[in-house]
Amino acid sequence: MKILVVEDDQQVARQIETSLKNAGYVVEVVHDGEEGLYLGSHESFDAVILDLGLPKLDGIKVLQQWRNENRDMPVLILTARDTWREKVVGLRAGADDYLAKPFEIEEVLARVEALIRRATGHSKPVLTCGPVEFDTTTNRVSHNGTTIEMTALELGMLSYLMHHKGEVISKTELTEHIYDQDFDRDSNVIEVLVNRLRNKLGSRLIKTHRGLGYQLIEPDDS
């Protein structure tokens, strides 16, 4: 899952980036509103953490522009001013959640997890597909109740497919959402990861649509 962080305080940005990466997210960080606006308008993200007090272009204007462009990724706004008026302005501009500084990083992670679940139509933290369960709060994967060990890349792919169960996801989309910018997009790593997941979780769980992508399905739906 890919997160955009738009935060001008570099220490805060580093703290958020490190925690998100440790939790298995792909993260892009920028430090001003203009760059944040550009990335949010031209790239696909599963969620955005947006500070309001940004240089060059403030966070409210960035958010309003995204919504005017019909960019519907969930947005968590951050601000140093914890007033009800600012909350109302942010929420009416199109924010999905609000967090005042200073904050505990665990709360940021929990709110991001919840935003992504809601945006993909999931209300509970444990996602299921047939005998497979994926706990989004602990990143624990189980098959028929038995814990399955996963590498970080396998977990990233499974997470994205589980959040989009039933959808055909292209190789390009998977690459964008589970790897950082330095990943070699011409490699066959996606195919290798799909085969690993099939070996660990069952060959019928992930269906290949030639020329289109991959689809996570309930075993009886094939």
For residue 65, the domain's CATH number is: 3.40.50.2300
The strand pairing partners of 210, in sequence order, are none
Number of domains in the chain: 2
Domain boundary among 85, 119, 153: 119
Angle at 40 between CA 36 and CA 42, to 5 degrees: 120
Residue 215 in this model has a pLDDT that exceeds 90: yes
Helix spans in the chain (H): 10-22, 33-42, 59-68, 84-93, 105-119, 152-163, 171-178, 189-201
pLDDT (tens digit per residue) in 97-116: 999 988 999 999 999 999 99
Q: Let me know whether 8 and 91 are in one domain.
A: yes
- The answer to whether residues 111 and 146 belong to one domain is no
Determine whether 31 is exposed, middle or buried from the number of CB atoms within 10 Å of its CB (0-12, 13-18, 19+).
middle
Same domain, 100 and 55: yes
Determine the pLDDT at residue 23: 87
**Predicted model pTM:** 0.80
Q: Which of 119, 149, 183 is the last residue of a domain?
A: 119
Residue-wise pLDDT tens digits, 68-81:
999 999 999 998 87
- For residue 209, the domain's CATH number is 1.10.10.10
Looking at 119, 153, 177, which one is the last position of a domain?
Answer: 119
Same domain, 137 and 106: no
Residue 20 scores a pLDDT above 80: yes
10, 109: one domain: yes
What is the domain range of residue 8?
Answer: 2-119
Share of the chain above pLDDT 70, in %: 95
